[in-house]
Structure 1
Amino acid sequence: MRHAAPVLPPAEAADPLAIVSPRPGHQGCCSPTDALDARRVADRLGIPLYALDLSVEFEQIIDAFAADYGSGRTPNPCVRCNAWIKFGRLFDHADAIGAAHVATGHYARLEQEPSGPALRRGLDTARDQSYVLFDIRPDRLRRMMLPVGGLAKADVRARAAALGLVTADKPDSQEICFVAPGEHARLVAHRLGGSRAGEIVDSSGRVLGRHPGIEHFTVGQRQGLGIAVGTPLHVIRIEPETCRVVVGSRSEVPETRLVAGSATWLEAPPTGSFDCLVQCRAQRTAAPAVVTLLSADRFTAEFTGGPDHSPGPISPGQPAVCYAGDRLLGGGWIEG
């Protein structure tokens, strides 16, 4: 449970209850400290709190995280957590206890339209989290509640303070909850039975040095390459079969086209090709593109905004999320 979730006015939630899934030894939104805060908030609001053991599901997320890095991809575990746990297993539990809705503190909005509920960016665009919700099942939208998406963060904190909640001034959680900052490579190496070390080469195949493991790198990366050739170098490709990291100039970093698979569409996309905005990383701005459906769950995106409206480096393993204005249409996982 995120600390902002219980600010719903009573009229908006009949017989509310709270659920938390603490992870011993973890940080961020899943730590024992957060579980204790959830207990204090629930007590203050006079609502029951249930603890769920989702350790098996969390292990699956960590395994997928490690497998992606080991395959040369850059994973986004928050998307997996939302799809598999917050809007997956949590809905299963809601069904088991007869709960009508599931509310979370994600910064996004749900609006009712003639065709059904639409998922939109949060009004506080600097904190928008709709990007990490693209992979949830479309049928979940009718039972979802996102009560803080139409508020500024200051307003949420003010409401929490007015209710006397101990979390009103609690710092935001931005880290990956299951690994400390800067330690992901060690976790991946442990899960995969060792680092995937290899050569650093340029685009012609010339060996420039060696690296400690492909899990240390992502496409577009410039810092921490461990080599110097007199000109700036960026990661332009990771080759998991040979464990080679390919580097080149900034102009060689892929930013103009992508292919995405395992797509989820919250509403039926137009057939053929269509114009939209595509976001390729959580903290980046969506860029104009022409999206072409290859099948029901695969698409290409050709970016049309030029250097001034680039999507940034395109990293396999990250989501490519399509928007019509601020309305989320769907998205997929970048293959290349």
Structure 2
Amino acid sequence: MSTKKVLVALSGGVDSSVAVHLLRQQGYEVEGIILEFSPVHKAAVQAAQVIADQLDVKLHVVECHKEFEQNVILPFCREYQAGRTPNPCIFCNPTTKFGIICQFAKEHGFDKIATGHYARVEHLEDGIAVLKKSACIERDQSYMLYRLTQEQLSMLILPLEGLEKTEVRQIARDLGLASADAPDSQEICWLPDGDYASFIEQKLGKSKSGDFISPDGTVCGKHKGLLHYTVGQRKRLGIALGYPVFIKEIDPELNRIYLARTGEEYADGVLLTNCVIQPNPLLSKDNPIAHANVKVRSRASDAPATITLLEDGTAKVIFDTPQRAPAPGQSCVIYDGITVLGGGYISKQLEL
């Protein structure tokens, strides 16, 4: 083994705790790091210190409130304000979490970093790092990592690949770790109550009310502000038309929300912006059209589709079978089997 010193992203959760233990078993010298993203995360730092003490590892605490605010919180708020549905973890991972941890590792003599994510990185002889799905498909988090750079992936070890969550918790129990029964982390880590709408309005001001537009094109009610809604939403609309409806489209320019009848949720395809394509033989600038699988949200099933990379950096994705309510702002991630080819942010739905 050429690499002996690994920096592990440690939290108070069970996954990163067990990652430390597994790396030690493999002969690595391990230290931990916890990023304090905001004042809310001070509790996470304390929980990580408890685990570090139990495992007898040195813990580095790095405060990065400014970076998190600029790279994650403000883009998250602005996306919702514009009628899109962002995923904050996808913003955070390349720009902040992995960016800061990789930089710290290089500056302090660590050759590799590790996290408790459920995914796999395969390191090829030509130096290319290939991101793949976890063997535990139910827990797979490759969707959240698709925007990592090649430099970040090349430094990354994922010790939990191949394990089920029940196995990870049992290892933690056997070790007597305080994290053994800790709940899984939440998506919006800086909002313990999950009330993102109130948070955004405190940050950017009150969201303006506007019109709901019925399937027949007429105004049928008032919405309370675009950030309270998402494409595909059916409940809590406050609209009674005598038949079920869902949100088909959110128009930030006119401040309107367009409704459609239930059953019309399906889109033929999507347009992607800010695409990231990992090195691969199937899809590239030289080979811009490919048939592969895509996921239009983190918990969606794989959907076969034809992907066309366009010269302006966008991509057109046409599904073999229409998919339900792909939401602008969410990511569409492209897979060749279990291998991540890349992806991008959904800009709009496409109809053939």
TM, length-normalised to structure 1: 0.92
Match of 1:77? 88
Separation in structure 2 between the aligned mates of residue 221 and residue 236 of structure 1, nearest angstrom: 8
Match of 1:128? 140
TM-align CA RMSD: 1.8
Paired residue secondary structure (2:63): coil
Check if 1:249 corresponds to 2:265: no
Tell me which of 100, 123, 127 is aligned to 1:89. Answer: 100
Shift of 1:47: 1.4
> CA offsets, 1:61-101, max 9 Å, x none?
11101100111110100111111122111111111212111
Tell me which of 14, 20, 28 is aligned to 1:14. Answer: 28
Separation in structure 1 between the aligned mates of residue 122 and residue 263 of structure 2, nearest angstrom: 41
Check if 1:206 corresponds to 2:218: yes
> CA offsets, 1:276-326, max 9 Å, x none?
1110111111211000111373211000035xxx3x211110001000111
Quick check: 251-260 or 45-54, which moved more? Answer: 251-260
> CA offsets, 1:114-149, max 9 Å, x none?
553321111211111110101111222111011112
Check if 1:32 corresponds to 2:48: no
Tell me which of 108, 115, 129 is aligned to 1:117. Answer: 129
Tell me which of 214, 233, 239 is aligned to 1:227. Answer: 239
Check if 1:140 corresponds to 2:152: yes
Kindly indicate whether the alpha-carbon contact (under 8 Å) linking 1:18 and 1:50 is maintained by their aligned counterparts in 2. yes
Which amino acid in 1 is paired with 2:244?
P
> CA offsets, 1:173-193, max 9 Å, x none?
234112244511111222222
Kindly indicate whether the alpha-carbon contact (under 8 Å) linking 2:273 and 2:314 is maintained by their aligned counterparts in 1. yes
Kindly indicate whether the alpha-carbon contact (under 8 Å) linking 2:146 and 2:342 is maintained by their aligned counterparts in 1. yes
Shift of 1:159: 2.0
Paired residue secondary structure (1:78): helix
Match of 2:3? none
Separation in structure 1 between the aligned mates of residue 266 and residue 77 of structure 2, nearest angstrom: 24
Aligned pair count reads 328
Match of 2:115? 104
Tell me which of 52, 55, 64 is aligned to 2:65. Answer: 55
Kindly indicate whether the alpha-carbon contact (under 8 Å) linking 2:93 and 2:99 is maintained by their aligned counterparts in 1. yes
Tell me which of 46, 49, 58 is aligned to 2:56. Answer: 46
**Higher strand proportion (structure 1 or 2):** 2
Tell me which of 295, 298, 303 is aligned to 2:311. Answer: 295
Match of 1:282? 298
- Spell out the pairing of 1:155-166 with structure 2 (5 A cutoff): 155-166=167-178
TM, length-normalised to structure 2: 0.88
Match of 2:339? 327
> CA offsets, 1:154-208, max 9 Å, x none?
1112222233321112111234112244511111222222113211012453100
Separation in structure 2 between the aligned mates of residue 75 and residue 289 of structure 1, nearest angstrom: 22
Kindly indicate whether the alpha-carbon contact (under 8 Å) linking 1:175 and 1:181 is maintained by their aligned counterparts in 2. no
Paired residue secondary structure (1:91): helix
Separation in structure 1 between the aligned mates of residue 43 and residue 192 of structure 2, nearest angstrom: 16
Shift of 1:272: 2.7
Which amino acid in 1 is paired with 2:279?
E
Match of 1:240? 252
Which amino acid in 1 is paired with 2:29?
D
Paired residue secondary structure (1:8): helix
Separation in structure 2 between the aligned mates of residue 199 and residue 225 of structure 1, nearest angstrom: 12
Kindly indicate whether the alpha-carbon contact (under 8 Å) linking 2:197 and 2:228 is maintained by their aligned counterparts in 1. yes
Paired residue secondary structure (1:157): helix
Separation in structure 1 between the aligned mates of residue 312 and residue 297 of structure 2, nearest angstrom: 23
Q: Give identity over the alignment, percent.
A: 34
Shift of 1:43: 1.5
Check if 1:176 corresponds to 2:192: no
Kindly indicate whether the alpha-carbon contact (under 8 Å) linking 2:333 and 2:340 is maintained by their aligned counterparts in 1. yes
Separation in structure 2 between the aligned mates of residue 124 and residue 266 of structure 1, nearest angstrom: 22
Quick check: 43-52 or 66-75, which moved more? Answer: 43-52
Kindly indicate whether the alpha-carbon contact (under 8 Å) linking 2:297 and 2:331 is maintained by their aligned counterparts in 1. yes
Which amino acid in 1 is paired with 2:166?
A
Separation in structure 2 between the aligned mates of residue 118 and residue 242 of structure 1, nearest angstrom: 43
Please, which runs of 5 or more residues in structure 1 have no aligned partner?
Answer: none
Shift of 1:11: 4.9
Which amino acid in 2 is paired with 1:19?
I
